[in-house]
Chain A
Amino acid sequence: MTMSRGLRVFLLGFTVLVLVLVYIPLALVVVNSFNVDRTFTWPPPDLTLKWWDAALHSTAARSALWTSVEVALAATAVSMVLGTLAGLALRQTRFFGRNVVSLVIILPIALPGIVTGIALSNAFTTILGVGLSLFTVVVAHATFCIVTVFNNVQARLQRLGGSLEQASMDLGAGPFTTFRLVTFPMLRSALLAGALLSFGLSFDEIVVTTFTISATDQTLPIWIFQNLFRPNQGPVVNVVAAVLVLLSAIPIYLAQRLSGSTAEGLTGAR
Chain B
Amino acid sequence: MLWLGVAYLAALAALLITSLWTQDDFTGEIQRQWTLDNFRDLFTIDVYRTITVRTLEIAALVTVIDAVLAFPVALYMAKVASPRAQRLLVIAVLMPLWASYLVKAYAWRGMLSEGGLLDWVLGPFGLQSPGYGLLALTMTLAYLWLPFMILPVYAGLQRLPDSLLEASADLGARSWTTVLRVVLPQAFPALVAGSIFTFSLTMGDFIAVRIVGGTSQLLGNVVYDNIGAANNLPFAAAVATVPIAVMLVYLAAVRRTGALDNL
Contacts and interface: CB of A to CB of B under 8 A. Distances in A.
Pairing of A with B: yes
A8 B80 contact: yes
Interface in A223-247: 224-225, 228, 237-238, 241, 244-245
A122 B23 CA distance: 14
Interface stretch (A26-34, A46-54, A174-182): A26-34
B98 A112 contact: no
Contacts of B77: 15
Interface of A: 1-4, 6-8, 10-12, 14-15, 18-19, 21-26, 28-29, 32, 39-43, 82, 85-86, 89, 101, 104-116, 118-123, 126-127, 142-143, 146, 151, 200, 203-204, 206-207, 210-211, 221, 224-225, 228, 237-238, 241, 244-245, 248-249, 251-252, 255-256, 262-263, 266-270
A15 B73 contact: yes
Nearest to B176: A7
A40 B100 contact: no
B193 to A, nearest CB: 10
A114 B152 contact: no
Interface residues of B, number: 97
Q: In terms of DSSP, what is the predominant structure of the interface of chain B?
A: helix
Interface string B1-45: 111111111111011001000000000001000000000000000
B96 A26 contact: yes
Name which of A40, A89, A143, A151 has the most chain B CB atoms within 10 A of its CB.
Answer: A40
B99 A248 contact: yes
B103 interface: yes
B200 A146 contact: no
B113 A39 contact: yes
A200 B116 CA distance: 30
A246 B223 CA distance: 33
Contact of B75 (A11, A23, A105, A113): A11
Nearest to A23: B96
B178 A2 contact: yes
A25 B143 contact: yes
A252 B196 contact: no
B258 interface: no
B30 A26 contact: no
B107 to A, nearest CB: 4
Name which of A7, A207, A262, A267 has the most chain B CB atoms within 10 A of its CB.
Answer: A267
B202 to A, nearest CB: 8
A180 to B, nearest CB: 19
Given A18-B69, A89-B1, A120-B11, 8 more contacts: A1-B80, A12-B80, A40-B110, A101-B5, A104-B5, A111-B204, A123-B11, A263-B151
B98 A248 contact: yes
30 contacts: A3-B165, A6-B175, A8-B80, A11-B76, A14-B76, A15-B76, A18-B72, A19-B73, A25-B111, A26-B103, A28-B117, A40-B116, A105-B5, A110-B196, A111-B204, A112-B200, A112-B220, A114-B205, A115-B243, A118-B240, A119-B240, A146-B4, A151-B263, A211-B227, A221-B102, A228-B211, A241-B103, A266-B151, A269-B97, A270-B197
